[in-house]
């Protein structure tokens, strides 16, 4: 209840910000991509993690406005970095199932890209398995719009949701993000390493790219590389960074 109360007007009080974490290619030196992660410094409650406040924002409906703010800020920032000559591929944002279900969401995303002069083909939406599990007409229409405009979709935290995988063929998914719990276990447990390998094979068989999250050690990175994983993300490469630090990271990595 406290959080719900404090969320009220938080956008207008400018309490949200974004941090950015790079995703690097496992092989070769193509430009990295960037995931945006939301941060909230509440005037009343102090810093509050999205893991804590997103579920509450979903329950009280505020997630729609917060999600719009995130998309707007990401496209604005990406365009600024592009115009500054920094080289990167996609920017990725986490999108809640409730945003997807909101009428006109896809059209709003495209309009927002146009307004900022940011190509929709370089704005990736990270969805959880639970957002994809229901197959409704509204969801299909939403994905049709994304597909028409080339908006890439990624399944976040892959492997922790449901064992129903029909959605992988039903919806235009480009990327699987292996949940970091598998990456953390893969060096200690042969079975877990088999799971990450199987996810890489599954993704590739379906024509998708596979990303590993939560890569913290060189040993994890090299095993994932050997398994054919396409992109890596985690503290080994960088923590989530403030915009200014992200600029420096991009400059020093190219």
For Na ion, the binding residue among 73, 129, 156, 230 (CB under 5 A) is 156
Judging by beta carbons within 10 Å of its beta carbon (0-12, 13-18, 19+), is residue 64 exposed, middle or buried?
middle
Quote the CA–CA distance of 93 and 86 in Å, as a whole number.
19
Whichever of 137 and 185 has its CB closer to ligand G, that residue is 185
**Strand pairing class (153-158; 16-25):** unpaired
Quote the CA–CA distance of 40 and 45 in Å, as a whole number.
10
Note whether 250 and 86 are within 8 A (CB). yes
Query: Which among Mn ion, ligand G, Na ion, none contacts residue 15 (Cβ within 5 to 8 A by kind)?
Result: none
Per-residue x/- track, 99-138, Na ion (CB under 5 A): ----------------------------------------
Radius of gyration of the chain (CA): 18
Whichever of 129 and 145 has its CB closer to ligand G, that residue is 129
Least distance in angstroms from the C-beta of 177 to Na ion = 6
Q: Which two tokens stand for residue 92?
A: 């990725």
Q: Kindly state whether residue 157 participates in binding Na ion, applying the rule CB under 5 A.
A: yes
Q: Kindly state whether residue 156 participates in binding Mn ion, applying the rule CB under 5 A.
A: yes
Q: Kindly state whether residue 124 participates in binding Mn ion, applying the rule CB under 5 A.
A: no
Binding residues among 69-98 for Na ion as defined by CB under 5 A: none
Quote the CA–CA distance of 142 and 99 in Å, as a whole number.
11
Binding residues among 23-82 for Mn ion as defined by CB under 5 A: none
- Nearest position to Na ion, beta carbon: 157
Question: Can you name the residues that pair with 35 across neighbouring β-strands?
Answer: 21, 92
DSSP string, 83-95: HTT-----EEEE-
**Tokens 């040993």 map to which residue?**
219
Contact residues for ligand G (CB under 6 A)? 21, 37-38, 49-51, 54, 70, 93-94, 96, 156-157, 180, 213-216, 234-235, 240
Count of residues that bind Mn ion according to CB under 5 A: 3
Residue 27's CB is within 10 A of a number of other CB atoms, namely: 10
Whichever of 51 and 205 has its CB closer to ligand G, that residue is 51
Binding residues among 92-111 for Mn ion as defined by CB under 5 A: 94
Q: Which residues bind Mn ion (CB under 5 A)?
A: 94, 126, 156
Q: Which residues bind Na ion (CB under 5 A)?
A: 156-157, 213
């Amino acid at each position: 209840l406290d959080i719900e109360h404090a969320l009220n007007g938080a956008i207008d009080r400018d309490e949200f910000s974004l941090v950015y974490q790079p995703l690097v290619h496992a092989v070769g030196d193509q430009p990295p991509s960037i995931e945006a992660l939301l941060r909230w410094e509440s005037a009343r409650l102090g810093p509050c993690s999205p893991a804590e406040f997103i579920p509450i924002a979903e329950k009280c409906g505020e997630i729609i406005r917060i999600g719009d703010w995130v998309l707007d800020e990401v496209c604005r920032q990406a365009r600024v970095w592009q115009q500054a000559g920094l080289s990167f591929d996609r920017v990725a944002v986490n999108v809640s199932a409730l945003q997807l279900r909101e009428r006109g969401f896809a059209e709003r995303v495209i309009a927002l890209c146009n307004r900022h002069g940011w190509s929709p083909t370089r704005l990736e939406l990270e969805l959880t398995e639970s957002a994809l599990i229901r197959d409704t007409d509204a969801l299909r229409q939403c994905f049709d719009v994304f597909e028409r405009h080339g908006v890439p979709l990624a399944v976040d935290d892959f492997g922790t949701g449901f064992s129903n995988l029909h959605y992988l063929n039903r919806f235009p998914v480009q990327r699987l993000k292996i949940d970091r719990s598998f990456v953390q276990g893969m060096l200690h447990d042969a079975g877990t390493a088999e799971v990450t390998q199987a996810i890489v094979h599954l993704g590739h068989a379906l024509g998708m790219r596979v990303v590993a999250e939560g890569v913290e050690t060189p040993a994890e990175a090299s095993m994932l590389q050997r398994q054919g994983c396409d992109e890596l993300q985690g503290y080994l490469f960088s923590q989530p960074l403030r915009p200014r630090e992200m600029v420096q990271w991009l400059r020093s990595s190219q």
